[in-house]
Amino acid sequence: MEIDNFFIMDTNRDLIDELIRTGYLKSERLIRAFEKVDRKDFVPLEFMAEAYGNYPLAIGYGQTISQPATVAFMLEKLQPELGDKVLDVGCGSGWQTALLAELIGPTGRIVGIEIKDNLVILGNQNLKKYNYQNAKIIKGNGWQGLPETAPFAKIIVAAAAEKIPKALAEQLEIGGRLVIPVGKGQQDIVVVDRIDESHFKEQHYPGFIFVPLVEH
């Protein structure tokens, strides 16, 4: 799947309507989350006029806030449920973390990990705009995940790995799901379902480009 429809919309409603029209936003719960959590609250001031553009935006430190269509696509594949415990790897400015906090509700829990100190601070500042009590962002290595907090019902990764990190797959609970971009150059988004202790099922969706998953 190739996402290349780069448009600038004037309002969050315009963006949501475009994502629905193009088939990236489908489920009612995810549409409501996009309505509640406004992307403009997570982009740098210098890009505020482009907050509703359907393309990635730089957030500093070599990282980006992902294209809205890509975020919608990955969250539709992740299928977060009320009460889920979720790990958000490479959460950047916190937009996807906030969307997930909305989707899993107050009985759920989400931990975002970000390897860059400045982005940990930025992401937590942005989350405070919504006063979520079920979400936080901490410093961590995306390749290693968060074993002390595992297992997770869902894990999502917003940066590309050359291969699926074994540590992340092993931190899924049985029946859990990992969504991660994998590959060099143009990447596949891979959906990994844990069947049992030693068996996993993969589905691949090609045609995406992400920044690399940083190791240090």
- pLDDT over 80 (residue 9): no
- pLDDT over 80 (residue 172): yes
pLDDT at 2: 41
Which candidate, 206, 142, 197, places its Cα nearest to that of 170? 197
82 within domain boundaries: yes
Burial tier of 76 (Cβ tally within 10 Å: 0-12, 13-18, 19+) = middle
CATH number at residue 66: 3.40.50.150
pLDDT at 134: 96
Mean pLDDT, residues 190-205:
97
**What residue has token string 């962002």?**
137
Task: Provide DSSP, 49-79.
Answer: GGTTBSS-EEEETTEEEPPHHHHHHHHHHH-
When pLDDT is cut at 50, 70 and 90, the band that residue 214 belongs to is confident
- pLDDT over 90 (residue 18): yes
When pLDDT is cut at 50, 70 and 90, the band that residue 1 belongs to is very low
pLDDT at 8: 64
pLDDT at 25: 97
192 within domain boundaries: yes
In percent, how much of the chain has pLDDT > 90?
A: 88
Mean pLDDT, residues 69-85:
98
Between 105 and 9, residue with greater pLDDT = 105
pTM score, two decimals? 0.94
216 within domain boundaries: no
130 within domain boundaries: yes
Which positions are annotated as active-site residues? Answer: 66
When pLDDT is cut at 50, 70 and 90, the band that residue 185 belongs to is confident
Taking a C-beta distance cutoff of 8 angstroms, is the pair 200, 194 a contact?
A: yes
Average per-residue pLDDT in the chain? 93
- pLDDT over 50 (residue 3): no
90 within domain boundaries: yes
- Helix (H) / strand (E) containing 14: helix 12-21
Pairwise CA distance, residues 175 & 69, whole Å: 26
- pLDDT over 60 (residue 48): yes
Q: How many domains is the chain partitioned into structurally?
A: 1
2 within domain boundaries: no
48 within domain boundaries: yes
pLDDT at 69: 96
214 within domain boundaries: no
Range of the domain at 150: 12-208
Can you say whether residue 175 is alpha, beta or left, with left for phi > 0 and alpha for psi between -120 and 50 degrees?
left
Model pLDDT for residues 106-131, shown as the tens digit of each residue: 999 999 999 999 999 999 999 999 99
Burial tier of 58 (Cβ tally within 10 Å: 0-12, 13-18, 19+) = middle
